[in-house]
Structure 1
Amino acid sequence: MNHRIDPADFACSLLAGQLADAWLDYHHKANLTSSGQYVTTIRSFLKFTDSHLAAAGLDPGQARLDGGDIDLTEVIYQWEKDLLAHAKPTSGRPNAMAGSLLTLIGHRADRDAKVPERLRRRAAGPATFRGGTNEPLDEFANHERLALRDAAMADVRALEKRLSIGQALLAEGEDPRTGGWRPLPNLVWAARHGVLQMPDLRAHLPAHYKWWPAPLKELLVDPVYMARFRGKYGLMTTVSGLLFPNELDLQSFRILLLLAMGDATSEEVHDLALSDLEFSDEGVRVLQTKLRASRVRPHLHGNDGPQESDRPLDEYEAPGETAYPGTGNWDVPGLLRRLIAVNELTREAFACDPWLFTAVEATANRSGIRAGRALFRRPGRSFTDWIATHPDLEGEPVKISLPHDIRRVRKTSKTTRVAALGGTLTDLAGDDHHIEVFRGHYAHGTTAHVLAGRAVNRAQRMVFNKIQPGKPVLITEGAEALLSESAAAQELGISTEQGVALQQGELDMGVVNCRDPRDSPHTAKGRFCHVAPAMCMICPNAVVFTSQLPRLLMLDDHIQHMRKVLPPPAWKAAWGVQSAALQEVFSECAEQLPEARKQIEDGKYRLDLPLGMRTEYDR
């Protein structure tokens, strides 16, 4: 591969040449096989240095690694912030590029004593911001989802109310170049026609806002107008906000659409343009483009969402004032219509691309306003900043768990559907995901885990309700002779035929007898029990004759032997309940145990077990 850096391409040509030399020397000294990352990093840093220093009124040509009046340490920090603002939340690219630049500067510092000590120390340190993470994101809790939804709906109503006030002022306004710069309607007119500039405000308004006309001063303190700055810059941005939404205003639509469009990712919603929408009486057909999957898919959203109705007053409405009703519904078609409506004047006033999320913000040098696609990454315009503008009852920002990643809203929408269905993994995946995709990207969430736990618990309860540890019935030698009589059989809960079969040993399961081997709680009804004699001591069908005590003692000996072999948790799980049941039987016939033990020693009895169980019992 061929890589080239031409210092003449940059205003900071001296700095470009020094970094290029450091790159070439480092490439050879480190015996690198590829330098693409370093070339990309150098070009990015030089391009940023040109614009950053020019905006600060400094000469980029004075920037250099070996001293000078320009503090490159601060430039590096600002460049890192810019990288972070234009990268995805989980991207490790800002960290990697910053590390590459610091490596080259450190390499130059080791060979040039003129590199300033401050820059030398910065090169020896790590990148300012950490790298990205592959840790999967969890969804928001349900109370957080409701808080985000309600705050976003209140913000949409407040925005529509603010824009309606701006439209009324615009109708009253005239050109301030002839009608004066102090009437508020004239400033609104100037914002609409692109003549609202900071130089004009500085020239025609008093230096301090306390000498401004009352309507202008009230504009910066009335919560309806959402003023976030003071002075002339605050006046310019607030007047602009009476006509055009900014990025913070559009965050509300972004959140509500992600909650309503469960099949759309955040980038699909963010990339929507007017040409991607087709409205009809049934709803809206949205053409969604997913770049990562190289897939374009249409989706029809019907008119089936919540409607505007009676509601409590929001924070901007006094009890005696008429509640602002809003201008549409809260389903996907309604939200998209409202988003188009609030941006209609933006598209008329500015020659900009027809993105749905088009915001009007101050220019980089704060001299005027401009329109552009909302990125939601600028300082003060991120998802975290939007959350911070909504205080709780104590006046603190509403408690929303970290990280404040917009993709968690999408996951919340998906898992809300999971909670509604509460079915199998196929049901939860839905129509827009393969089962494996859902398993890898959504099944790790708290909601899915809770539902999975409930499913497991439900299955366990069904098993435990069916298989409840029973207590074998102990029949003495005298009672054994009466089993063929109807009264004794009825007392035992068996038929006379079963009593006769028990007497004759036809229902002997190897260790104990069984009332009915084809009605076992451990096996499907009608099938012969396949877990005898391992589970007989915890089966309610078990019937113990005192003549079977020698074999029960032999079984107990084996269980105690396994206690020495198995780890305690494993022994308790496999044999703990059976051992306790045996001890209970032995306690009821303690007087007969010595004779039973003598019979074992005389070799009159052995454990009669199925072939498949002998390995377990004999080891």
Structure 2
Amino acid sequence: MSATDPQNSELAPTTLGPLRIEVAFPDNRTAIVDWTRQPQQRLLRSLGAELAASTAVGQGTGSPHTLSNRARSCREWARWLDTTEDVELRVCDLRPRHLDDFESYLRERHPEHSRTPYSRIADIVWVLRRLADKDSGLPADMLRRLSHTSVGPIGSYAPRDAYPPHVVEQLRSAARAEVDQAVRRLTLDGPALLAEGSDPRTAGWDSDANVLWEINRSRGTVTRQSLVPTIGDKVASAHSPGRLAPMLYPTSRDIFALLLLFCLESGMELEAVRELNHDCLKNPNRGYVHVEYLKRRRHGQEWNRIRVRDGSPRSPGGLLRLALRLTAQVREVTGSPALWQYRQAAGVLCTRLSPPVATSMATRFVAAHQLSDHGEPLVLNLSRLRKTYKAAVYKATGGRMSAFVQGHSPDVAAAHYADIPSLRDLHEQAVADALQDALTDAQAPTVLTPQEEAQLAQHPNDADELLGIPAEDLAQFLSGESDLWLSSCRSFFDSPFGAKGKPCPVSFFACLGCGNAVITRRKLPAILAFLNHIEAERARMPAADWAARFGKAHQQILQLILPKFSEVDVLNAKAIAESSEPLLFLPSNLLGGH
């Protein structure tokens, strides 16, 4: 029976009948789980019904690969239970020992460093927790047991680390060489050869161009075996479709190289990259583009977007445009919206680069290019690519989480992508710099983004927590009455640089190092005008004098203030700053304003 209805992916079966689950996922991929010959069928029927229900959109089992893993864990558990129990178990018969003893059994059978025991138990607990949410009759002690996943360690294996820079450079160089060859073959050599060909039934089969013409006419389905009865084995081998078809249709090797490069340049999750569609590029603008992707693990918010560089053939956006061009002919034949489509040697057109194929291609890729790590053959684990990208960003930004977090919470970013061996030296240096950073932050102004301004306008009571000013003073503050040249000021007559009740005595650009200062969007033109001024002064002053006078302000503008505002806000402010009219901002109470 079908576990999900493609027309209504929210529905799932309430009974299974025979223990065979046929799942049609919303993206037209299918999977089959067959438990008809497995033991403990009363228990498996309940587990299978819950697995089938979990294949609806947003319910947690979003791909055939995930379904297969969870089904395997449940099947192994049922087989083990059948060897230890004399009766068929129901859900209401389950006890904590049924999980804990099975985990002990798994740990005895697997190496100490293996993650498999934990993964199998985690799959089973995941299904049982769904049953528990539906009052399925689980005993009280079993419900308490489900509050934790495992009684043992996840696995005392080395944490998944980022690849070092010398390995990344090898991967990039090899993948770019593959992509360059694919582009030339599919956009120049192939079309040129096809233009020379004609119908081999009249022009003859002893020509590569004519056989390529037939491959194109048959939409890629011609194989050497299908030609042998017509033209004989000798001619079919000399002009083999297996050799000629890649002139028109990309191979799994081409697609793998493109996907590898995109993962290295974008940092997107591998499972999300594999499921990209042909219309994933959105809102191209000024060298950037949004990539729309499906992240099935993010229940309720599966569809996401990231902003990436665009235009250059080596940028993430440019790589996706190359993929669109190279797969255009395959997509036309299959009618599938999937991006990573290719032709197998047997004449089968594939719409996705499945995990097993990707793993196999990784091994072949390493062997073909003789990639190594410290003299040993490289083990290319595709799940390490995202950590590799994240580690590079983390290092480039000095470990600043605001730039590092993308696509997940700060807690996940810290635990899974920052806490890895290759970043240990950076963390140790961060500890050494912590006191200086704390002092710098204490002296830094508050940057109030347009979104935060809008939030304050709607919720004035947040002013004390966000800005340290009473709610009743917020309207005056947001109106600009407290503006100085480079910032707004919480209290011009209570400066940390002067006596209380006296006007602030320091230079205007000391605001950039003052805790009283608040930077808003309306101050950007003045800040950019000041930035132009101090850049001009750099050429007129000795480097040491310039650094002492302007260095800190220059750094704060570029690193603290401008990154908080959108590209549009900065561009508009720059245009104003470059106008011919000078900018002048003084407190209204010094100008006689009220």
Under a length normalisation based on structure 2, what TM-score does the superposition of the two structures give? Answer: 0.48
Under a length normalisation based on structure 1, what TM-score does the superposition of the two structures give? Answer: 0.46
Bigger Cα Rg: 1
